[in-house]
């Protein structure tokens, strides 16, 4: 699997930093010269993170709202999503291949299933932490149950929901690095291509880390923007 | 929609044989409750915990549905409307207030107007009007979040929110329960002043008999098992407790509580002989004979009390300024009876000179007068004082 890309990589190594690369040191010069080849895998990685988290969020939200109306569903949902969460990701990528084939679909199905438990639990916790008197006052003023949910409960659960999204996103950035085994590319593929070449691993791994950090800050920024009351104290 | 937002008329409220049974519990939470609250009055539901007072209140806006009987607002059953619609027309204030922490004060107050689809300028104007009404500065408060307010301010916002669409009925569940005693007293007074203007029909729940006596036009005392023990105006309740339970609940100091409810002007005072210096003694003696108090009171030209005359003052041809004791204490017609009693108890004389706004002698207050008052009907039957003049 890795022989052919390795051969290609060798060809790409330019003469200038040859000695450093040959010695398998950390080569800034090589990185500068070769940074372009990482943009596509990075974009793939962004895709492999953002889409599963978004889909996972949509599914979890639906499940959480369902479980909010029918409390008894909470246990079973946590059990099922917990099992998904416990399956080793690499195993999932291979197990899904006979059904969904090699490529994005397999990666997506697996990555989405990993986000469910985290996001579901956080939404549920957030909804449960809404003060009872706030809900009572809302109902007492004549809000319908739907209005209570969308205008009061979900907005007040935002901090917990956002916390869930942050954990899910960071986790997915990491797991998406293994999507290469589902044939879905991403930065993981780039690491595997020349896993013995330090500079390559550092750049690809570093970009994944950076991606996780940037996405985390992004979500944090959104959270702060949509929860102005959280900063208004005293 | 327009009709219910103008200055809406308060409506009478009636519980008719209302019973609430929870499945699986032998005793009903509320047992055949019947009472009528006239429009514009505060009815306080009071009783020990577990007496069903909050349940009774929450059945009015159908936060809890009753098992049997009916509740009528302005003669119309609360069951005729969808719960959400009904609730929008009933102000709702709870102890924990329950402001929406994620909404500004302005948005909190605008909750029901928004549900009813008012336009923005109208909502903005109403929010400012209500903040003014409850004594908060609209400029300062409108855009703050609840977390930025003190407990007392939040409570005021809670009241403003309940009044947003000027509902004919208000439900208040221990609205001042979470406020410290000093601020509670202030908020209670503020609310009573507000109510004197607004004249809403209010169901007010509390476990505190003193608050009940202070706030209620009528008090419904409930006992465990959801039974109504007595329903009466405060003075009547204190005067004629219907049962041992009520007697215990209102407390052994119910006489003092009654005095706290009334002013000196509500009581039939003793008539005193108000005599100016220089009055012919014969005339003075005739006045004393007609008065309820055996001692004549010396007054100045304006009729203001100067002191109790001694026997010697009435021995010559004309009354002299010979005083037995100064006119102390002096109480005013507007003083609360309990305070007047305290003045009387702490002074050396048995009689207190009662004066009106101008300081003119209006009568005499004595321990006997108060005692007699406590033993007569609270509706102040005018014959009560007549018994005194023997």
pLDDT at A20 > cutoff 90 = no
What pLDDT was estimated at residue B381?
32
Pair (B198, B64) in one structural domain: yes
The whole-number average pLDDT for the span B16-41 is: 94
pLDDT at B309 > cutoff 80 = yes
Instruction: Establish if B291 belongs to a structural domain.
Output: yes
- pLDDT tens-digit map of A137-171: 999 999 999 999 999 999 999 999 999 999 999 99
Contact B59, B20 (CB under 8 A): yes
pLDDT at A194 > cutoff 60 = yes
Contact A177, A12 (CB under 8 A): no
Length of chain B: 390
Residue range of the domain that includes B310: 265-386
Instruction: Establish if B130 belongs to a structural domain.
Output: no
- Tell me the HSE value of B242 on the side-chain side, using a 13 A CA sphere: 14
> What's the pLDDT band for B239 if we cut at 50, 70, 90?
confident
User: Which residues of chain B lie closer than 8 angstroms to A140, CB-CB?
Assistant: 61, 63, 87, 92, 94, 98, 171
> What's the pLDDT band for B5 if we cut at 50, 70, 90?
very low
Mean pLDDT of chain B: 89
B43 pairs with which residues across the strands? B203, B218
Reported ipTM? 0.80
- B94/A147 CB distance under 8 A: no
The whole-number average pLDDT for the span B149-155 is: 92
Pair (B213, B285) in one structural domain: no
Among B191, B226, B261, which residue terminates a domain?
B261
Pair (B246, B230) in one structural domain: yes
Percent pLDDT > 90 in chain B is 62
The secondary structure of A76-123, three-state, reads: HHHHHHHHHHHCCHHHHHHHHHHHHCCCHHHHHHHHHHHHHHHHHHHH
Strand order in the sheet with B274-276: B274-276, B297-299, B305-309, B323-326
Domain count for chain B, please give it. Answer: 2
Instruction: Establish if B123 belongs to a structural domain.
Output: no
Of residues A135, A141, A232, nearest to B112 (C-beta): A141
pTM attached to this predicted model: 0.80
Phi-psi bin for B304: left (phi > 0), alpha (psi -120 to 50), beta? beta
CATH assignment at residue B80: 3.40.50.300
Q: Which CATH superfamily groups domain A37-227?
A: MetI-like (1.10.3720.10)
Instruction: Establish if B117 belongs to a structural domain.
Output: no
The whole-number average pLDDT for the span A79-99 is: 88
Pair (B289, B237) in one structural domain: no
Pair (B270, B244) in one structural domain: no
- pLDDT tens-digit map of B243-298: 999 999 998 888 888 888 888 888 889 998 999 988 999 899 999 999 998 889 99
The whole-number average pLDDT for the span B149-160 is: 93
Of residues A134, A229, A233, nearest to B98 (C-beta): A134
> Does B103 reach chain A within 8 Å, measured CB to CB?
yes
The whole-number average pLDDT for the span B52-79 is: 95
Pair (B178, B300) in one structural domain: no
The CB density around residue A146, as the number of other CB atoms within 10 Å, is: 9
Instruction: Establish if B147 belongs to a structural domain.
Output: no
Among B217, B232, B261, which residue terminates a domain?
B261
Among B219, B242, B261, which residue terminates a domain?
B261
**Domain locations in chain A as residue ranges:** 37-227
Question: Who contacts A193 (Cβ-Cβ below 8 Å, separation ≥6)?
Answer: A2, A5, A6, A9, A200
Which string of b and e fits B10-35 if b means at least 16 CB within 10 Å? bbbbbbeebbbbeeeeeebbbbebeb
Pair (B295, B318) in one structural domain: yes
pLDDT at B388 > cutoff 50 = no
> Does B161 reach chain A within 8 Å, measured CB to CB?
yes
**CA of B82: which chain A residue's CA is closest?**
A142
Say which range, A109-118, B29-38, B251-260, B278-287, has the weakest mean pLDDT.
B251-260
More confident residue, B130 or A183: B130
**CA of B101: which chain A residue's CA is closest?**
A229
Instruction: Establish if B79 belongs to a structural domain.
Output: yes
Helix pair B181-198, B151-162: axis angle to 10 deg = 20
pLDDT at A7 > cutoff 50 = no
Q: Could you give the maximum distance between any two Cα atoms of chain A, in Å?
A: 76
Question: Who contacts B121 (Cβ-Cβ below 8 Å, separation ≥6)?
Answer: none
Residue A73 to chain B, least CA–CA distance (Å):
24
pLDDT at B380 > cutoff 70 = no
> Does B328 reach chain A within 8 Å, measured CB to CB?
no
Q: How far apart are CA B88 and CA B103, in angstroms?
A: 19
Instruction: Establish if B341 belongs to a structural domain.
Output: yes
pLDDT at A79 > cutoff 70 = yes
Pair (B283, B380) in one structural domain: yes
- A140/B102 CB distance under 8 A: no
The CB density around residue A184, as the number of other CB atoms within 10 Å, is: 25
The whole-number average pLDDT for the span A186-212 is: 85
Tokens of B162: 């309940």
Residue A66 to chain B, least CA–CA distance (Å):
22
- B88/A156 CB distance under 8 A: no
Beta strands at B297-299 and B30-37: parallel, antiparallel or unpaired: unpaired
Tokens of A209: 């880390």
> What's the pLDDT band for A57 if we cut at 50, 70, 90?
very high
Rounded CA Rg of chain B: 27
């Amino acid at each position: 699997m890795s022989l052919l890309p390795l051969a290609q990589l060798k060809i790409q190594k330019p003469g200038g930093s040859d000695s450093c690369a040959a010695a398998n040191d950390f080569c800034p010069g090589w990185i500068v010269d070769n940074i372009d080849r990482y943009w596509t895998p990075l974009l793939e990685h962004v895709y492999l993170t953002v889409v599963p988290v978004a889909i996972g969020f949509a599914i979890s939200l639906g499940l959480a709202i369902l479980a909010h109306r029918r409390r008894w569903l909470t246990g079973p949902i946590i059990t099922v999503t917990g099992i998904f969460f416990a399956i080793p990701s690499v195993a999932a990528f291979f197990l899904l291949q006979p059904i969904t084939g090699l490529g994005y679909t397999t990666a997506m199905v697996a990555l989405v299933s990993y986000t469910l438990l985290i996001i579901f639990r956080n939404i549920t916790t957030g909804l449960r932490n809404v003060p009872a008197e706030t809900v009572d006052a809302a109902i007492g003023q004549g809000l319908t149950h739907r209005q209570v949910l969308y205008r009061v409960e979900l907005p007040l659960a935002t901090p917990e929901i956002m916390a869930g999204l942050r954990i899910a996103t960071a986790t997915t950035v990491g797991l998406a690095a293994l999507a290469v085994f589902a044939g879905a590319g991403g930065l993981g593929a780039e690491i595997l291509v020349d896993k013995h070449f330090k500079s390559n691993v550092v750049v690809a791994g570093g970009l994944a880390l950076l991606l996780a950090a940037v996405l985390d800050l992004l979500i944090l920024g959104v959270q702060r923007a949509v929860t102005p009351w959280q900063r208004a104290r005293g | 929609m327009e009709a219910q937002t103008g200055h809406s008329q308060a409506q009478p409220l009636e519980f008719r044989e209302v019973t609430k049974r929870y499945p699986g519990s032998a005793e009903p939470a509320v047992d055949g409750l019947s009472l009528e609250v006239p429009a514009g009055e505060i009815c306080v539901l009071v009783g020990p915990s577990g007496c069903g007072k909050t349940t009774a209140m929450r059945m009015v806006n159908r936060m809890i549905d009753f098992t049997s009987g009916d509740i009528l607002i302005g003669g119309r059953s609360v069951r005729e409307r969808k719960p959400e619609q009904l609730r929008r027309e009933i102000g709702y204030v709870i102890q924990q207030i329950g402001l929406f922490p994620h909404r500004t004060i302005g948005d909190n107050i605008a909750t029901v107007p928004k549900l009813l689809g008012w336009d923005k300028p109208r909502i903005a104007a109403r929010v400012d009007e209500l903040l003014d009404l409850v004594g908060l500065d609209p400029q300062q408060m409108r855009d703050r979040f609840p977390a930025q307010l003190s407990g007392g301010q939040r409570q005021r916002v809670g009241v403003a929110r309940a009044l947003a669409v000027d509902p004919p009925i208000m439900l208040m569940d221990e609205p001042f329960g979470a406020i410290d005693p000093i601020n509670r007293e202030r908020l209670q007074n503020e609310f009573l002043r507000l109510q004197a203007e607004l004249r809403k029909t209010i169901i007010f729940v509390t476990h505190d008999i003193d608050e009940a006596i202070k706030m209620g036009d009528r008090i419904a005392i409930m006992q465990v098992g959801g039974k109504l023990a007595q329903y009466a105006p405060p003075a009547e309740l204190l005067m004629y407790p219907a049962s041992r339970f009520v007697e215990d609940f209102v407390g052994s100091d119910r006489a003092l509580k009654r005095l706290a409810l009334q002013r000196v002007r509500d009581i039939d005072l003793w008539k005193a002989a108000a005599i100016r210096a220089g009055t012919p003694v014969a005339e003075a003696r005739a006045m004393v004979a007609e008065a309820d108090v055996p001692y004549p009171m010396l007054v100045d030209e304006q009729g203001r009390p100067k002191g109790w005359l001694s026997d010697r003052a009435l021995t010559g041809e004309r009354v002299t300024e010979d005083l037995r004791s100064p006119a102390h204490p002096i109480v005013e017609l507007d003083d609360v009876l309990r305070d007047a009693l305290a003045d009387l108890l702490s002074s050396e004389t048995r009689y207190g000179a009662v004066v009106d706004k101008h300081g003119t002698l209006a009568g005499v207050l004595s321990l006997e007068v108060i005692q007699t008052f406590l033993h007569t009907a609270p509706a102040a039957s005018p014959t009560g004082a007549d018994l005194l003049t023997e």
